[in-house]
Amino acid sequence: MADSASLFRILSDEQVTRFYDDAAFTDLSQASEQIEAWENGYQHRRCIRWAITRKDDPIMIGSCGFYGIHPWHLRASIGYELARSFWRTGIMSEALRAILAVGFNEMGLNRIDAVVLPANIASIMLLDKLGFAKEGLLRGYENWDSKGFVDLEMHALTRKE
């Protein structure tokens, strides 16, 4: 909960949430609720989320992690966000490389995937850089509340890749 204010600052930025599955936060309580949801998901082995900080500063500047963990199928999806002032600095590449290593080496995953809006070119480029392959377009795949049903691209990386 100590990161609530930092998470609120990140997710109240409409540029950060433009390609996010939720609207920009408008109240600090939303950040606390999000952290509680991540904690609940972790306790029930459905997700794991890490705060992203800089080595010289403990303030949270983003987060990344796994959700939709399927132990039987040895697969999970990744999600991530970063404060706008840190975009295109290599921080998210470094963070995702670290969690990919955890996923494949410690969790024993065979497949890690990500769904992304086709217009989110920066995220698609990041996934490409990390070796993810575009698998196709999922039409009307998810209901993003105020954004309605959205088409999403599926990108994935497998252990053998």
Would you say residue 46 lies in a domain? yes
Would you say residue 26 lies in a domain? yes
For position 16, which CATH number holds?
3.40.630.30
**Per-residue confidence (pLDDT) for residue 21, from 0 to 100:** 85
Would you say residue 9 lies in a domain? yes
**Per-residue confidence (pLDDT) for residue 53, from 0 to 100:** 96
CB 153 within 8 A of CB 138: yes
Would you say residue 155 lies in a domain? no
**Per-residue confidence (pLDDT) for residue 133, from 0 to 100:** 98
Would you say residue 86 lies in a domain? yes
Statement: the pTM of the whole predicted model exceeds 0.95 = no
Strand pairing of 57-70 and 48-54?
antiparallel
Residues of the chain where predicted confidence (pLDDT) is lower than 50: none
Would you say residue 137 lies in a domain? no
Would you say residue 159 lies in a domain? no
Would you say residue 83 lies in a domain? yes
Question: How many domains, in total, are found in the chain?
Answer: 1
**Per-residue confidence (pLDDT) for residue 145, from 0 to 100:** 84
**Per-residue confidence (pLDDT) for residue 147, from 0 to 100:** 83
H or E element that contains 127: helix 121-129
Give every CB contact of residue 13 below 8 A, 6+ residues apart in sequence. Answer: 24, 83, 84
Q: Which two tokens stand for residue 150?
A: 């959205």
**Per-residue confidence (pLDDT) for residue 116, from 0 to 100:** 96
Host domain of residue 81: 4-114
**Per-residue confidence (pLDDT) for residue 51, from 0 to 100:** 96
